[in-house]
Amino acid sequence: MTSSDGARERIIDAATRLFAALGYDGTSTRMIAEASGLNVATVAYHVGGKRDLYVAVVERAHRLERDVMANAVAQIEDAAGILALVDRYIDFCAEYPEVPALWMHRWLSDAADVAHLEEHYIRPLLDMVAAAARKVVPDGVDVEYVIWTVVWCTHGFGSGGVLDADGTRHGLNDPRELARFRTHVRRLVATAIGLPADAA
């Protein structure tokens, strides 16, 4: 890796953290420069403007997710394989919490002036998973809504977690709550696709 590549990666890493935490609209190029230990001109030289950087961040997040999901989809042999896919998606979100955080901001109208991201990055993943699922689940299952239910639940849990009796939030980084969440989502999906309760 050249020093130029290293600087670009450092900038994208810093931008990913900031966009995930504050959203596109809440993050300035100056903040990204400071977080990456560079000046604004250097950031612009390596990645262009804020919009270019945001697209680069989303593209990198998409590649990570696509690779994981493509591998998991390739292993689906029957309806029970859908539950393994759910597990892998939850694991992915726990390992890369910045990815669901980026999309949560986006879905709350963040970066509204950056068009077509869903068309380029979300729709292909949704279509890939849906095509595999339709081969193994019964007719009549609304596969897209099952997929979206997993996404909505996982992103919401990652962003807000759950409150315990003392008002403390627990989320993807809490192994006990993550296990409870996984069990719950597996049961939801098993019910939705017609698997017996004990399959989850």
User: For the chain, which residues make up each domain, given as ranges?
Assistant: 57-199
Give the residue among 34, 38, 29, 88 at the shortest CA–CA distance from 57.
Answer: 29
| pLDDT value of position 198 | 80
The list of the chain residues with pLDDT below 70 reads 1-4
CA distance readout (Å), 51 to 7, 76, 88, 122, 162: 18, 37, 31, 18, 33
pLDDT per residue as tens digits for the range 119-136 = 999 999 999 999 999 999
Q: What is the pTM of this model?
A: 0.92
Q: Whats the size of the chain, residue-wise?
A: 200
List, in order, residues 6 or more apart from 130 with CB less than 8 Å away.
143, 144, 147
Q: In the CATH hierarchy, which top-level class contains the domain 57-199? A: mainly alpha
Nearest to 69 by CA among 145, 131, 152, 157: 131
